[in-house]
Amino acid sequence: MAETKRPITAEDLYNIHSLQDPQISPDGEYVAFVKVTPDPLNKTYKRNIWLLPLPAGEAFQLTRGDSDSGPRWSPDASQLAFVSDRGDKPQIYLLPTSAPGGEARALTALENGARSPDWSPDGTRIAFLAPLREDERSSEVAGDASAPEPKDKLEQKQQKERKAEAESNRWDPRPMWRIPYRQGTSYVDERYDQVYVIDAAEAADSKPRRLTNLNASYSQPRWSADGRSIYTDRAIWLEADEPWRAKNIFRLDVESGEEFALTDGEYSTYSPSPSPDGGWIAYSRAHIGVTDLPERLVLMSADGAESRVINISLDREVFEFAWSPESRLALSIESEGNLLPWTYDPGEDRLAIAHDGIYEIEQISAGADGLMALTVSTPDNPQELYILNGGGFREATSFNHAWLDEVIVQEVHELRFDSPQGEIQGWYLLPVGYETGKTYPLALNIHGGPHAAWGFSTKSMWHEWQFHAARGYAVFYCNPHGSGGYGEAFMRKLHAAWGPVAMDDIMAGVDAVLARGIADQNRLAITGGSYGGYMTAWIISHTDRFKAAVSQRGVYNISSFYGTSDVPILMSSEFDAEPWENHDVYWDNSPLKYAANISAPLLLIHSENDFRVPIEQAEQLFAWVRRATETPVHMLRYPREGHELSRSGEPSHRVSRLSEMIKWFDRYVNA
């Protein structure tokens, strides 16, 4: 009964299950997928592979390694290849599916691990990626036997410790030779992902064979329909900074390892996926060095004679794509607050929506006769597995149902409003216990990117918005100019004007919510992360309307961000200059310049290992506000975390972040 339900808490994050990487079996009998569950005790997440029988069976758990991911079916559907961290390094395992519950067999035992498996069409071989340094590749070719087999476990332990010590000494001092020199939460080493092929048969005793030998990381290998080639991508310029900004598609000859470029470097091209009939290669395309233009999906004939840009007339971005057995594409396309399934038939050159509705697809897999398996978030559920077949669209799992039966979930309301730049789409949630005629404090949320987008049911924010509403706040968010999902012109409107354009849009939305009589204009709170942190600092330094602010992992000084981030090209692209060419445009667009104007009590949340937006950004803003104003300012530093703290950080850290944010709001907004 609704009256027995309780408001959502920060700790409810521990109760939310998410799903990843659905894969329909070649015979259409099962969907394999990864179920992810928070594990606060071990400060991590449990990942296990599950199977869903089709057409309407009940999902069951297949693996119990708690670190299993990337399931890939053999062509005859008798085995699953997957990646597991059961040892020191992630390795590829094989598991028969004819008798669920059997033991997985380690296919690889590479010193630096292995990942990204892909089966050959005949099911006899698997291509995969493994990282090596140049000297390790040379030793592999020479058959280096410098480390003999240990005589016993003690000697094995000693060899392992000596190797770890040698690796540590290698980075003392730590050399840096290009940008980025650190990513995620760790420093970049000299190992690059190489493409390997290995026999999959249990009786086979062959070692994996490496096809590539460059100081460049190759992407997910994908077999050609005839099994003679592997498609992949890599950087065009091996010594360039941010090498992933410019890539070409390559075809590798499986026997010789010779590589052939299939694209010419006019655009950055990546993620090639050959069709099952061998006729087409689908891949993504972006402008080199340009960060505020939508990506395009290209279909190229296998002989290179024809090339089509599938989504240019639609003017929307494709986020996921997968081939069906009939060589039709299943796509997820972002548009105006939703990520929905579409199909593309190369024979008819026709793009069509497969199912309309209010939801967001995260990942997609395609089967025969229009069958799709999709991980879906809705306004009522943070995520479940859905099946689309013959026009029917059904929820196929219920992992979050028991928890949802206990808690109050607030409805998401769409709000269209006008700003000086044109119409903007936003959404609001009423606080739990809302009474008509009363006004409530407002929690304004701002997305990152700057070219990301939110919608009715954004998975990464679902719990956070509901938690704010549960704590008595009306919640508002919108997609200002620059957001994805509205076309190229809308995205480019933010170019070289990150602050003022988006602020006009966002504040127009705040006024639209206030006009509805929902929120109290004297109790406004604001928060956002990354670019949303930038906008939080920008807004509170240009208006005194907010009573509390929580700025998370934000960019506050564009010049120093350029010098410390792993993505400096983001700034030179967005502002049309390098910092030494036009420092004024960098400084004029930096919130730090206006920090002395901040009057809203400010909480800064940042991760110590954030190498996308380094913590020096928050340190600067903290010092400036502290020294230049009487404004209350605090800073929270989260150890071990990176830029993804709010989405995939340690579960207890994610709960802490939510709790500290609301405590700060309550302290100043409800004082």
Mean pLDDT of 261-276: 96
How far is CA 51 from its chain centroid? 24
Please say if the pLDDT value at position 205 is more than 70: no
116-150 confidence digits (pLDDT tens): 999 999 999 999 999 999 999 998 887 755 557 77
Instruction: Supply the pLDDT for residue 79.
Output: 95
Decide if 12-141+154-285+361-402 and 410-669 have a common fold: no
Indicate the pLDDT class of residue 101, thresholds 50, 70 and 90.
Answer: low
Per-residue CA distances from 630 to 328, 554, 600, 627 (Å): 62, 22, 10, 8
Mean pLDDT of 78-101: 89
Mean pLDDT of 550-577: 97
Q: Which of 180-189, 248-257, 334-343 has the lowest mean pLDDT?
A: 180-189
- Residue 529 amino acid letter: G
CB 18: neighbour CB atoms within 10 A? 22
Please say if the pLDDT value at position 87 is more than 90: no
612, 570 in Cβ contact below 8 A?
no
Which residues are bridge partners to 479 per DSSP? 425
Q: Is 444 left (phi over 0), alpha (psi -120 to 50) or beta?
A: beta
Instruction: Supply the pLDDT for residue 146.
Output: 56
CB 415: neighbour CB atoms within 10 A? 16
Mean pLDDT of 333-358: 96
Q: Which of 280-289, 303-312, 482-491, 610-619 has the lowest mean pLDDT?
A: 303-312
DSSP helix/strand/coil, 321 = strand
- Residue 121 amino acid letter: P
DSSP state of 148: P
Instruction: Supply the pLDDT for residue 485.
Output: 96
Indicate the pLDDT class of residue 494, thresholds 50, 70 and 90.
Answer: very high
CB-based burial of residue 66 (10 Å sphere; 0-12 exposed, 13-18 middle, 19+ buried)? middle
161-204 confidence digits (pLDDT tens): 888 888 888 888 988 888 999 999 999 999 999 999 999 987 65
Tokens describing residue 36: 């992810």
Tell me the CATH architecture of domain 410-669: 3-Layer(aba) Sandwich (3.40)
- Residue 33 amino acid letter: F
Mean pLDDT of 5-18: 98
| Polymer length of the chain | 671
Map tokens 């940008």 to a residue.
179
Q: Which of 42-56, 157-171, 212-226, 273-287 has the lowest mean pLDDT?
A: 157-171
- Residue 458 amino acid letter: T
Q: Please determine, looking at this structure, whether the domain spanning 12-141+154-285+361-402 carries the CATH number 2.120.10.30.
A: yes
360-373 confidence digits (pLDDT tens): 999 999 999 999 99
Instruction: Supply the pLDDT for residue 1.
Output: 43
Global pTM value: 0.95
If one compares 141 and 17, the residue with the highest pLDDT of the two is: 17
The domain limits of the chain are 12-141+154-285+361-402, 410-669
- Residues of 259-274 as b/e, b for ≥16 C-beta within 10 angstroms? beebbeeebbbbbbbb
DSSP helix/strand/coil, 1 = coil
Tokens describing residue 303: 């002989």
Task: Tell me the C-alpha distance between 351 and 58, whole Å.
Answer: 33
Mean pLDDT of 81-109: 89
Neighbouring C-alpha atoms within 13 Å toward the C-beta of 633 = 22
Instruction: Supply the pLDDT for residue 85.
Output: 94
Task: Tell me the C-alpha distance between 607 and 603, whole Å.
Answer: 13
528-563 confidence digits (pLDDT tens): 999 999 999 999 999 999 999 999 999 999 999 999
474, 518 in Cβ contact below 8 A?
yes
328, 345 in Cβ contact below 8 A?
yes
441-480 confidence digits (pLDDT tens): 999 999 999 999 999 999 999 999 999 999 999 999 999 9
Task: Tell me the C-alpha distance between 82 and 313, whole Å.
Answer: 38
DSSP state of 132: E
In 3-state terms the chain splits into helix, strand, coil percentages (rounded to 5) of 25, 35, 40
Q: Tell me the average pLDDT of the chain.
A: 95
390-437 confidence digits (pLDDT tens): 869 999 999 999 999 999 999 999 999 999 999 999 999 999 999 999
Instruction: Supply the pLDDT for residue 91.
Output: 96
- Residues of 340-361 as b/e, b for ≥16 C-beta within 10 angstroms? bbbbbebeeeebeebbeeebbb
Instruction: Supply the pLDDT for residue 670.
Output: 83
Task: Tell me the C-alpha distance between 602 and 619, whole Å.
Answer: 13
Task: Tell me the C-alpha distance between 140 and 123, whole Å.
Answer: 26
Task: Tell me the C-alpha distance between 522 and 16, whole Å.
Answer: 34
